[in-house]
Amino acid sequence: MPLELSARDRAMLDGDAGEGPRIAMRIVASMAEVLDADHLIDVASAHVDGCLYQGQASLDFAERLARAGARVSIPTTLNVGGVDLLHPGLYRGDPDRAARSRRLMGLYEGMGCRPTWTCAPYQLPDRPSFGQHVAWAESNAIVFANSVLGARTDRYGDFIDICAAITGRAPAAGLHLDANRAGGILFRLSSVPGRLLSEDILYPLLGHLIGAESGSLIPVIDGLPPTTTEDQLKALGAAAASSGSVGLFHAVGVTPEAGSLEQAFAGRVPRREVTVTPALMAEIRDGLSTTTGRIDAVSVGTPHFSLDEFGALTPLIERTAINPEVDFYVSTSRAILAEVERMGWMSAYRRAGIQIVTDTCTYIAPILSPSTRVVMTNSGKWAYYAPGNIGVEVVLGSLAECVRSAAEGRVWRDDALWRG
């Protein structure tokens, strides 16, 4: 089907709105052709991931847009950058790379994006509403927007994100369309006991399985309790978008497009079914953990720690003394950090010697001490990427297991959790 552009789209393409929109529209229109879209749609907001420095190409692209005078035309949030601007002393890497990261972050801010510096824009006020079309990048944010909020975004990445923000347009394709949002593969949780279902650690494990098994099918989960929290769904989606390409999942009775199994599958029969068992979950936990024994550090907050997660961690660290040999990091956004300060919780973190990281993440920026070899995390996404990105061994465990292990200096497991 040929792509049909509106008069306004064509004017942008012809440069009537200036050089910035011309470049941006050319890229949006090319992507529409790749995606077989027959027209473009308006998007209400954008979340831009291109502000994370990946090399000279990141800077060259942003500089070309900025030089052309490009400005965003819709509300646009920014993903993490390569440095923690609030705590610059945490950066242990090449100062030249830090300077380039900073410069890139400045270029995106200069184009009118909000300096939110978070991979969890859904924790900020003014999040997208049900059914609203948006152009979000960052795989975990995409899956959260589609699945938990019921907003509509395709799997946008670097470059197209800022082009959608500049033009306010995106291809009518992928997860924007009803036809592509119906379930295809069913994950049954009937064999998972209630206690494990209520534990946060189940969710990244389940997400990892779903990502690995779903391929291009939309996963549907049957059996999550209606009390499932947004943070649990965040962890699930982030893990599923790391081990696979999941941009949308449905959880029957939990997420907004899955009031029933029939609704989630749009009346069709699942192409595949997977039965989830506690043994399978423990196997994934062990598969994501590359070592056992002594740990050097704990890192939580991937995706960025929410206020509720701080609410859960604060009492744990108040009653457990962290081993001084173990570095403990919590990654979050500057917006959530401001809330934590307002709640008066920061003193507990300072007392415990816990380092809060904002604007970036511990597996993206060189923040961990060079002597760090083994890191424990409660994040499936962190466990998935950190060994390749920063060359550490990882152990995956629940938040409580992370804190107790940080106290003991070695991996501590709550075995009762895993007995099925």
Partner 1 sequence: MDSGEVEGRTLAAGSATGRVLRLDEPLSLWGGMDPATGRIIDRRHPQAGQSLAGRVVVMPAGRGSSSSSSVLAEAIRAGTAPAALVLREADPILALGALVASELYDRRMPVVVIDERAHAAIRAGDEVVVRAGPRGASVRGPRGSATPRG
- Is the preceding peptide bond at 303 cis, omega within 30 degrees of 0? yes
Site string for partner 1, 287-326 (x = CB under 8 A): ----------------------------------------
Q: Is 382 helix (H, G, I), strand (E, B) or coil?
A: helix
Rounded to whole angstroms, what are the CA distances from 171 to 137, 256, 297?
14, 24, 43
Taking the complex as a whole, the smallest distance from the CB of residue 31 to partner 1 amounts, in Å, to 6
Query: Per CB under 8 A, which region of 22-30, 92-100, 319-327, 399-407 contacts partner 1?
Result: 22-30
CB 343 within 8 A of CB 312: no
The only residue of 15, 115, 157, 223 in contact with partner 1, by rule CB under 8 A: 157
CB 156 within 8 A of CB 169: no
In this structure, what token pair is assigned to residue 88? 């610059």
Using the minimum distance from each CB to partner 1, give the nearer residue, 30 or 314: 30
Q: What angle do CA 208, 362, 391 make, to 5 degrees?
A: 75
The only residue of 73, 101, 118, 139 in contact with partner 1, by rule CB under 8 A: 139
Written as one letter, the residue type at 258 is A
CA distance 65 to 48: 14
CB 150 within 8 A of CB 131: yes
DSSP per residue, 395-407: EE--HHHHHHHHH
* Residues forming a β-bridge with 275: 188
Taking the complex as a whole, the smallest distance from the CB of residue 60 to partner 1 amounts, in Å, to 5
The only residue of 25, 160, 201, 202 in contact with partner 1, by rule CB under 8 A: 160
Q: Does 244 bind partner 1 (CB under 8 A)?
A: yes
Taking the complex as a whole, the smallest distance from the CB of residue 127 to partner 1 amounts, in Å, to 19
Cα of 230 vs its chain's centroid, Å: 13
CA distance 61 to 74: 20
Cα of 114 vs its chain's centroid, Å: 18
CA distance 210 to 346: 36
Using the minimum distance from each CB to partner 1, give the nearer residue, 48 or 322: 48
The only residue of 61, 122, 203, 265 in contact with partner 1, by rule CB under 8 A: 61
Site string for partner 1, 364-403 (x = CB under 8 A): --------------------xx-xxx--------------
Taking the complex as a whole, the smallest distance from the CB of residue 388 to partner 1 amounts, in Å, to 4
Q: Does 245 bind partner 1 (CB under 8 A)?
A: yes
Using the minimum distance from each CB to partner 1, give the nearer residue, 352 or 386: 386
The only residue of 14, 16, 38, 57 in contact with partner 1, by rule CB under 8 A: 57
The only residue of 155, 181, 234, 404 in contact with partner 1, by rule CB under 8 A: 155
Q: What is the total count of residues that contact partner 1 (CB under 8 A)?
A: 42
Give the residue among 135, 216, 220 at the shortest CA–CA distance from 180.
Answer: 216
Q: Does 24 bind partner 1 (CB under 8 A)?
A: no
CB 177 within 8 A of CB 171: no
Q: Does 34 bind partner 1 (CB under 8 A)?
A: yes
Binding site for partner 1 (CB under 8 A): 23, 26-27, 30-31, 34-35, 49-50, 52, 54-58, 60-61, 64, 137-139, 142, 154-161, 174, 216, 241-245, 384-385, 387-389
